[in-house]
């Protein structure tokens, strides 16, 4: 049987890793796929041939559209990233009747509905395992391994840069800005770290997970996103005193009212396994009605871990080349006609517990005033700590944990507390999830 020919768009970190894995493990991959898989063409403007196995057997062009239009190519692997020209290349490949593999979470989160509809019409497959959590096979788990379950909720550490920063802040008491500079020096964060530290990258990934879990269209624009740049070492320390760790968590949950879709700093009980995922590692916790909680842990980025997921997708596509399109695993886990129009809840309607840190005047009656406002709003306090003022200081930090309440109620209470003469500056609010 003739080998399957792959056109590789991009020979950077992930593209180079993909070529190296396909060449190094060619015999094992052929045994799994049922036929050989070779990269016959690639597109890249700059690359280092000394780092690429078998590059002398690959026809390399600087025109990605030339590769996409090549009639000999069976599978196009898009590893350029970004929104454009990735979208145009993928849609052109589909129009040309080619299967597509991509690691591009931004592309899938924003344009996936359009791309999957085009693929359905052409009878081709678009595979995207590497788009979420690098080498962790979470897409396959949701689409296949957990297909018997009603997925109740998902909580994930799905950005390694943010997790590295929070881990360093916890372990060494360092400031956010200081650790961010180190993350950039180590190559974990970009020169412009906005996508990572403000949660946009995680929101892309969470959008995909929610669609797979609940059978809803991709709706990135409805995802609530909050970053970690306001987290201070004292918040990390106070969280530990209460028995919690702070993680930048993506949470999606199906409720009677709709689907929660949110990325934000979160206090998690320190005894939870996911609270002990440190450094640049990723982890996704999935709760199904039949299986209960299952945890998926591993490298969420990097050349070979991500290439592992890309090559697994190439193998899957190769296995289905002769399969009737109607009998393939659906792109978003549910049959296209069965996607449900379930609303995404606004953050004001989400119910969770809270960590609050206030800066208050050190005088009688302040705690009672704050507690009174929370009580009037129907918010119950679980724990509270008032720190001693430093010598010569007239202000003290007041830290508390609340029970679960709707965000809208908490917003109103915070506005009233911040208006008190005895409260200085804004209130720091971090959501709390017990994941039980």
As annotated, the active-site residues are 205
- State how far the Cα of 122 lies from the Cα of 6, in Å rounded to an integer: 19
Beta-carbon neighbour count of residue 88 at 10 Å?
13
Beta-carbon neighbour count of residue 56 at 10 Å?
8
- State how far the Cα of 291 lies from the Cα of 229, in Å rounded to an integer: 36
Beta pairing, strands 405-406 & 351-361: antiparallel
Q: Residues 241, 246, 249, CA angle at the centre, nearest 5°?
A: 155
- State how far the Cα of 133 lies from the Cα of 86, in Å rounded to an integer: 20
Beta strands in 53-135, from DSSP E residues, in sequence order = 59-61, 75-78, 99-102, 126-127
Q: How far is CA 428 from CA 197, 236, 365, 404, 417, in A?
A: 17, 12, 21, 17, 12
**Where does residue 97 rank: exposed (0-12), middle (13-18), buried (19+ CB within 10 A)?**
exposed
Q: Are 197 and 189 in contact (CB under 8 A)?
A: yes
DSSP letter string, 283-318: EEEEEETTTEEEEEEEE-SSHHHHHHHHHHHHHHHH
Max Cα-Cα span within the chain: 84
CA torsion 360-365-367-368 (nearest 10°) is -150
Q: Which two tokens stand for residue 361?
A: 């005047």
Q: Which of 160, 147, 132, 155 is nearest to 313 (CA)?
A: 132
- State how far the Cα of 358 lies from the Cα of 247, in Å rounded to an integer: 21
- State how far the Cα of 344 lies from the Cα of 419, in Å rounded to an integer: 32
């Amino acid at each position: 049987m003739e080998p399957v020919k792959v056109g590789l768009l991009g020979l950077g970190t992930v593209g180079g890793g993909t070529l190296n894995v396909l060449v190094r493990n060619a015999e094992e991959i052929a045994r799994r796929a049922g036929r050989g898989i070779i990269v016959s063409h690639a597109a890249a403007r700059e690359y280092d041939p000394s780092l690429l196995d078998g590059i002398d057997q690959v026809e390399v062009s600087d025109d990605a559209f030339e590769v996409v239009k090549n009639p000999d190519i069976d599978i196009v692997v898009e590893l350029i990233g970004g929104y454009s020209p990735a979208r145009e290349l993928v849609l052109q490949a589909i129009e040309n009747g080619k299967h597509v593999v991509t690691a591009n979470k931004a592309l899938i989160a924003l344009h996936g509905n359009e791309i999957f509809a085009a693929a359905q019409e052409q009878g081709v497959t678009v595979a995207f395992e590497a788009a979420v959590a690098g080498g962790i096979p979470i897409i396959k788990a949701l689409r296949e391994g957990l297909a018997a379950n009603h997925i109740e909720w998902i909580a994930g550490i799905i950005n390694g840069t943010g997790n590295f920063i929070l881990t360093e802040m916890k372990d060494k008491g360092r400031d956010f800005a200081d650790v961010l500079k180190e993350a950039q020096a180590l190559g974990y964060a970009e020169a412009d770290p906005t996508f990572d530290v403000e949660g946009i990258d995680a929101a892309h990934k969470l959008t995909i997970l929610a669609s797979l879990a609940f059978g809803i269209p991709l709706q990135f624009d409805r995802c609530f996103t909050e970053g970690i740049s306001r987290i201070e070492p004292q918040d990390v320390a106070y969280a530990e005193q209460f028995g919690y760790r702070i993680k930048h968590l993506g949470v999606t949950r199906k409720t009677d009212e709709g689907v929660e879709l949110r990325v934000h700093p979160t206090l998690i009980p320190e005894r939870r396994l996911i609270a002990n995922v440190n450094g640049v590692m990723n982890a996704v916790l999935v709760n199904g009605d039949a299986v209960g909680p299952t945890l998926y842990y591993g490298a969420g980025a990097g050349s070979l871990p991500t290439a592992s997921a890309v090559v697994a997708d190439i193998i899957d596509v190769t296995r289905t080349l002769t399969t009737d399109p109607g009998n393939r695993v659906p792109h978003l886990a549910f049959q296209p006609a069965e996607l449900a129009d379930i609303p995404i809840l606004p953050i004001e309607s989400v119910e969770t517990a809270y960590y609050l840190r206030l800066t208050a005047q050190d005088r009688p009656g302040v705690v009672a005033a704050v507690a009174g406002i929370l009580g009037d709003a129907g918010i119950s306090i679980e724990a509270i700590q008032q720190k001693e003022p430093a010598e010569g200081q007239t202000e003290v930090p007041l830290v508390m944990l609340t029970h679960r309440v709707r965000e809208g109620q908490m917003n109103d209470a915070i506005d009233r507390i911040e208006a008190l003469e005895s409260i200085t500056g804004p209130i720091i609010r971090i959501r709390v999830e017990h994941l039980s």
